[in-house]
Amino acid sequence: TAASLCTGSSVAGITSEDLREKVLRHLPYASGKDLQGLKFLRGMDPLVTTIMRDPTEFASNYVQVCPAGAAAFATNAAMLALMSNPALFERFSSLAHFILKGHTELALLGAADWGIFHALAK
């Protein structure tokens, strides 16, 4: 639905539509096998860096406006941290848990649109 796709919302200058497209495009490479992990790193690292450079907007606004997108982003950021900076894994996995716990119904409504369960299964 349009609500679960968060049409018209954005974070750090990235529209929800672009965020969703990048998450879904790079999620299949999250296995980390062979060159797939490199494709995931190259695709997701700039996105995570841009959004987390100043996480205030993400935490204070985007999580409430687009919980499904925020949960998908945090889940993918946690997987990225496992590959590139394990010290950040706990932070991003806790963020994903916080979003899913606090916005369960809305996150579940958009889970299929954002690939949340696919990401969690990785």
Q: Which two tokens stand for residue 43?
A: 């695709």
d(CA 119, CA 72): 7
Structure tokens at 87: 């010290």
Structure tokens, 31: 């296995």
The 10s digit of each residue's pLDDT in 8-35 is 999 999 999 999 999 999 888 887 677 7
The answer to whether 118 touches 10, Cβ cutoff 8 Å, is: no
Q: Is residue 81 over pLDDT 80?
A: yes
On the question of pLDDT at 3 being above 70, the answer is no
Say what the pLDDT of residue 98 is: 95
Stronger pLDDT, 44 or 37, i.e. the higher one: 44
pLDDT value, residue 105: 87
Q: What is the pLDDT of residue 32?
A: 65
C-beta separation of 54 from 99 below 8 A: no
Q: What pLDDT, on the 0 to 100 scale, is given for residue 121? A: 61
Coil, strand or helix at 34: coil
Query: What are 48-80's pLDDT values in tens digits?
Result: 999 999 999 999 999 999 999 999 999 999 989
Helix 36-52 vs helix 67-84: angle between axes, to the nearest 10 degrees? 120
CB neighbour list of residue 86: distance below 8 Å, 6 or more residues apart: none
Three-state secondary structure call for residue 10: strand
Q: Would you say residue 93 has pLDDT above 80?
A: yes
**Which tokens in the block code for residue 54?**
């100043």
